[in-house]
Chain A
Amino acid sequence: MSKPKCWQDVPPGTIAWGASARDVETGLWRSMRPILDRNKCISCLKCWLQCPDASIETDGEGKVNGINMFFCKGCGVCDKVCPVGAISMHPEADFSSECRKRGEDPGRVADHVR
């Protein structure tokens, strides 16, 4: 079955495409943004294990690579479980002027992995 283009293409009673929720930008819910300090991070993977939204990105060798802002809902669990304080939470509003300067809509994040 090919991927449906619009809702009329989806057969009644079923969801045609597995993992399609990956198109949903749950990051738009976020009010607090986690910032990862790569110099402090020891890649213990505690945040990766505990993230309810699977938003901690790894590089294929078990090292933490960044936080996926497309999906991160900003719950702050990663900040609390981090044993070395490498993640800090900041109000999303602090980033709006920075986003505008780059010509982005402050509510959206263009470069998803930071």
Chain B
Amino acid sequence: MAGINLKELTNRQSPLTEGHRMCPGCGAPTAVRQGLMAVEDPVVIVGATGCFEVSTTVYPYSAWRVPYMHIAFENAGAGVSGVAAAHKVLSRKGAVKDNIKFAAVGGDGGTYDIGLQSLSGALERGHDFTYICYNNQGYMNTGAQRSSATPANASATTSPAGSVIPGKLERAKDLTEIVAAHDIPYVAQTTLHDPMDVIRKVKRAVETPGPAFVNILVPCPLFWKIDPANQVKVCKLAADSRFWPIYEVIDGRHVLSYDPKDPVPLKDFLMVQGRYSHLFKKGKERTDLIEQGQADVDREWEKLLKKCSGWTG
């Protein structure tokens, strides 16, 4: 890929250090590390409450080489807009000369649910910041509760699969499209299937003037009940099954960044995860729910292709 030389990147210090206390095989530090890898300007990070915040700033240690502000669940968007606005004023007065970038990092709980109104406000006001959502599809820090990002039929502790319900009954909401509806300069959706895609998208988001948003699907080995080593394989299945389309919205234009050459059925993505194991119980297979899920995926994919048609990257 033009402009990014991996060998040179190995000599650069990552804003996120080793020694953070995220679980082995967690996707969130991978996503943030890859994303901030190629960002050249100094960054300030605002972290919403969540796994990533509590595990990178365990008192009295910090796993950040850059200024980091911890903020509550609901106001990462408000916090980062305040910092960005302060920088704008200080630059105008000549007190700060550096070109500093601002990024907020939040999980899906802090972004899809609790922090949505402050994020929406910050996007509408048009501050120059990037919001990185590491989306593991539930509240992992508190013990795998369902969030509005949890997909249908996934068994979470507050929507457990059993004799009454087959896991979560509702579909996940499409936050990337909700954010895109704010008509901001850059919105992207990706997962850990291809590191260059994450690096490129976060770099572009940070370098875009004005608000930008990147939604990165990351596996939580404890909730998804997968072998931590299979992080990349599961993300690849999410992209190849079209469960998690990889696309970006540049100035309101939808551009598909990854069109799986050999799409796999949704079943392949569900089967590798323990949170869907109740759908595959011998003799009690819920083929109706799997077919319903596949129909949802196909419908969403068609909708996305329609939005992408007519535009080229």
A residues lining the B interface (CB < 8 Å): 4, 7, 10, 15-26, 29-30, 45-46, 48-55, 58, 60-62, 68, 70-71, 73-77, 79-81, 89
Contacts and interface: CB of A to CB of B under 8 A. Distances in A.
B20 A61 contact: no
Given A51-B30, A54-B33, A24 B21 contact: yes
Interface of B is mostly: loop
Contacts of B28: 52
A25 B57 CA distance: 15
B72 to A, nearest CB: 14
A50 B18 contact: no
A61 B7 contact: yes
A56 to B, nearest CB: 9
Given A53-B29, A77-B231, A21 B7 contact: no
B17 to A, nearest CB: 5
B298 to A, nearest CB: 29
A75 B28 CA distance: 14
A77 B25 contact: yes
Given A77-B228, A80-B230, A18 B64 contact: yes
Interface of A is mostly: loop
Given A7-B60, A52-B22, 20 more contacts: A15-B57, A17-B62, A19-B64, A21-B18, A21-B19, A21-B20, A23-B19, A23-B61, A24-B58, A26-B18, A30-B24, A45-B6, A46-B195, A50-B231, A54-B17, A75-B24, A76-B25, A77-B25, A77-B231, A79-B229
B83 interface: no
A84 to B, nearest CB: 16
Given A52-B30, A53-B18, A60-B11, A21 B228 contact: no
B19 A26 contact: yes
> Most chain-B CB neighbours within 10 Å: which of A7, A26, A75?
A75
B10 A58 contact: yes
B154 interface: no
B35 to A, nearest CB: 11
Interface string B35-63: 00000000000000000000011111111
11 contacts: A19-B65, A21-B62, A23-B19, A24-B61, A45-B7, A52-B25, A52-B231, A53-B18, A53-B24, A77-B30, A77-B231
Interface of B: 6-8, 10-11, 14, 16-30, 33-34, 56-68, 192, 195, 227-233
Given A60-B11, A62-B10, A52 B27 contact: yes
Contacts of A53: 18, 20, 24, 29
Nearest to A43: B7
A60 to B, nearest CB: 6
Contacts of B16: 54
Contact of A76 (B21, B61, B228): B228
> Most chain-A CB neighbours within 10 Å: which of B10, B61, B227?
B10
A21 B230 contact: no
B14 A54 contact: yes
Contacts of B8: 62
A25 to B, nearest CB: 8
Contacts of B195: 46, 49-50
B301 to A, nearest CB: 27
B61 A21 contact: yes
Nearest to A16: B60
A18 B66 contact: yes
B232 A50 contact: yes
A68 B230 contact: no
> Most chain-A CB neighbours within 10 Å: which of B34, B65, B228, B230?
B228
B127 to A, nearest CB: 24
